[in-house]
């Protein structure tokens, strides 16, 4: 058994087919198939069942795959620790980001990181929060920038900021003038029974939360669009196409869109998820510090001022830089 063999088995388990695993590993399909057959003969037990060209791990296969993952994790952490004893000028940043808010932050922060650590490359995985959590647990990435409403016991989190999820209306909506911009109590959904709703796709955490909220309210929305990216949802509301659910950081600091709290309020925590026992290199610690400092610049909505208008802290993110 060597590390390459372990990587081969893990790749087959992750990809589900010999063909896709071979493409990921940059090896030929016959060579990978021969390797698996030889390994199974040596072990005296099949590691996968072949079902309609799919590779389904057997009981023994799952044991082997999980053991392989743990060994590869130890190898990764060992090499990262060794890397810190050299100069931290070369390495790989294994990072996961969601399609929405964290991708925006990454685009602003990576140029700063690259200037500090030009020898680092990025293994970037962009996916929904659920898949990113699984990728962290499997060791496919070292950390992920995700939002969550509850902390999973299987992962550790570095909390960056908290944000509230709102029901958002176009600024020219008939109800806009009947309510202040931000209310402590939610809007009566029956007033929106004829409105078009723009919802996130079923694989997003926002959709899971909004579906639960709508079910609790006994309300069936008139859905005209489902999309994954929060920026698209925001732009559709901005254009007056319909109403939607967005957290305050996804609204591009727009204080003109009427917004209403859910009941009970839904507070999210934007954070960095990682496996317990993870050793962060100096470069990774610097990248985490970048996110922490950037998060402090995020606009926070406060109580209305004396004129009745919402107050906002100064947004310095456009010119964000780190010494």
Residues 99-144: pLDDT tens digits?
766 777 888 899 999 999 988 889 999 988 888 988 998 888 999 9
User: What six digits make up the tokens of 42?
Assistant: 């040596």
Tell me: do 261 and 167 sit in the same domain. yes
**Number of residues written out for the chain:** 323
pLDDT for 267-289, tens place per residue? 877 789 998 888 888 889 999 99
pLDDT given at position 9: 92
131 to each of 98, 126, 140, 201, 247, how far by Cα in Å?
10, 9, 11, 14, 20
208 to each of 35, 212, 231, how far by Cα in Å?
42, 6, 18
CA distance 269 to 283: 24
User: What six digits make up the tokens of 17?
Assistant: 């087919």
pLDDT given at position 86: 65
Give the chain's domain count: 2
Of the chain, the percentage scoring pLDDT greater than 90 comes to 39
Q: Which region among 128-137, 190-199, 252-261, 308-317 has the lowest average model confidence (pLDDT)?
A: 308-317
User: Domain containing 232: what range?
Assistant: 161-270+299-313
**Residue 234: pLDDT above 50?**
yes
Which CATH number goes with the domain that contains 196?
A: 3.40.190.290
On whether residue 232 sits in a domain, the answer given is yes
CB atoms within 10 A of CB 155: 20
pTM for this prediction = 0.56
On whether residue 278 sits in a domain, the answer given is no
On whether residue 93 sits in a domain, the answer given is no
Tell me: do 74 and 211 sit in the same domain. no
For the chain, counts of helices (H) and of strands (E): 9, 11
Domain-ending residue, one of 53, 86, 119: 86
**Residue 315: pLDDT above 60?**
no
On whether residue 34 sits in a domain, the answer given is yes
Q: In 3-state terms, the chain is what percent helix, strand and coil (to 5)?
A: 45, 25, 35
Domain-ending residue, one of 71, 86, 101: 86
CA distance 160 to 155: 15
* Mean pLDDT on 186-210: 89
pLDDT for 10-48, tens place per residue? 999 999 999 999 998 999 999 999 999 999 999 999 999
Confidence of residue 182 (pLDDT cuts 50, 70, 90): low
Domain-ending residue, one of 54, 69, 86: 86
């Amino acid at each position: 058994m060597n590390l390459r063999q372990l990587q081969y088995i893990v790749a087959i388990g992750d990809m589900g087919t010999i063909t896709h695993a071979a493409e990921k590993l940059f090896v030929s399909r016959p060579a990978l198939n021969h390797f698996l057959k030889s390994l199974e003969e040596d072990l005296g037990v099949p590691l996968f069942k072949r079902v309609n060209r799919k590779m389904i791990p057997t009981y023994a296969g799952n044991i082997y795959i999980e053991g392989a993952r743990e060994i590869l994790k130890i190898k990764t952490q060992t090499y990262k620790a060794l890397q810190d004893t050299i100069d931290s000028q070369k390495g790989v940043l294994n990072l996961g980001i969601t399609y929405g808010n964290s991708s925006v932050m990454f685009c602003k922060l990576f140029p700063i990181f690259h200037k500090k650590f030009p020898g680092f490359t990025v293994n970037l995985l962009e996916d929904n929060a659920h898949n990113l959590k699984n990728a962290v647990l499997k060791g496919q990435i070292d950390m992920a920038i995700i939002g969550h409403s509850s902390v999973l016991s299987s992962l550790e989190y570095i909390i960056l900021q908290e944000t509230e999820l709102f029901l958002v209306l176009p600024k020219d909506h008939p109800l806009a003038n009947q309510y202040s911009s931000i209310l402590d109590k939610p809007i009566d959904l029956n007033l929106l029974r004829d409105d078009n709703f723009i919802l996130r796709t079923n694989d997003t955490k926002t959709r899971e939360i909004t579906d639960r909220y709508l079910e609790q309210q006994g309300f069936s929305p008139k859905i005209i669009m489902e999309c994954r990216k929060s920026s698209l949802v925001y732009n559709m509301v901005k254009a007056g196409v319909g109403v939607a659910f967005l957290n305050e950081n996804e609204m591009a600091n727009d204080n003109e869109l009427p917004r209403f709290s859910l009941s009970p309020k839904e507070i999210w925590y934007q954070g960095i998820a990682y496996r317990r026992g993870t050793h962060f290199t100096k470069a990774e610690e610097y990248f985490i510090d970048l996110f922490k400092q950037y998060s402090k610049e995020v606009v926070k909505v406060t109580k209305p001022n004396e004129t009745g208008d919402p107050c906002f802290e100064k947004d310095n993110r456009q010119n964000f830089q780190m010494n």
